[in-house]
A and B are shown apart, each in its own frame.
Chain A
Amino acid sequence: NAGVTQTPKFQVLKTGQSMTLQCAQDMNHNSMYWYRQDPGMGLRLIYYSASEGTTDKGEVPNGYNVSRLNKREFSLRLESAAPSQTSVYFCASGGQVIAKNIQYFGAGTRLSVL
């Protein structure tokens, strides 16, 4: 069982470059999420998708865009990377709302913006 797969695992960007973080899940979950993790701040929600075809902003959406490509895939795009976006990014997926919010996480993408 692959669960939630994120690519790449590591990335170094220069300020102003763009990139897309990929996420795929094989658990047939409706909901998918992107978080960033910074020291002392826990996980903060960037964007989420409650179902295929819908996306919504989370707590810290500025500087990011997302695409729910299909039920399995949810990508996060940085159009013009900034040093403040240096972080560890986690993708997660979860079942129906009535499945009580259990989320399953990928292994993360460690991004450095120079």
Chain B
Amino acid sequence: AQSVTQPDIHITVSEGASLELRCNYSYGATPYLFWYVQSPGQGLQLLLKYFSGDTLVQGIKGFEAEFKRSQSSFNLRKPSVHWSDAAEYFCAVGAQGYNKLIFGAGTRLAVHP
């Protein structure tokens, strides 16, 4: 069965510091991988996605993620965090030919000035 694990429930970083949010997935075939962001009181917005090809994908708001098949990981990174990045981040996995997504429990990011 597919599953997604986000090991960090809460992360706090200082503004300007780098950020890495971890995501591990379990799926037998080549997965489709996604990162969504949820600002307080809002719905989810797609940050980036991986389907195939280059394992380093770029998204909106200066985020990037790297797919590592050997580690079953799809970690999200940003070189310099802004206060407006404070939100909850969700990793999700989908399957080819299958129109459902499985979400991780989320990581809540706080940014200190």
Interface set of A (CB-CB < 8 Å, partner B): 4, 31, 33, 35, 40-45, 48, 50, 58, 90, 92, 94, 97-98, 100-108
Contact = CB atoms under 8 A, between A and B. Distances in A.
A57 B37 CA distance: 25
Contact of B43 (A31, A44, A48, A106): A106
A90 B100 contact: no
A45 B93 CA distance: 13
B90 A42 contact: yes
Contacts of B43: 4, 90, 105-108
- The contact size tier of chain B is 20 to 34
Nearest to A108: B43
B56 interface: no
Contacts, number: 63
Nearest to A40: B105
Report whether over half of chain A's contact residues are helix, strand or loop; otherwise say mixed: strand
Contacts of A42: 4, 6, 90, 103-106
Given A45-B100, A48-B100, A50-B99, A40 B9 contact: yes
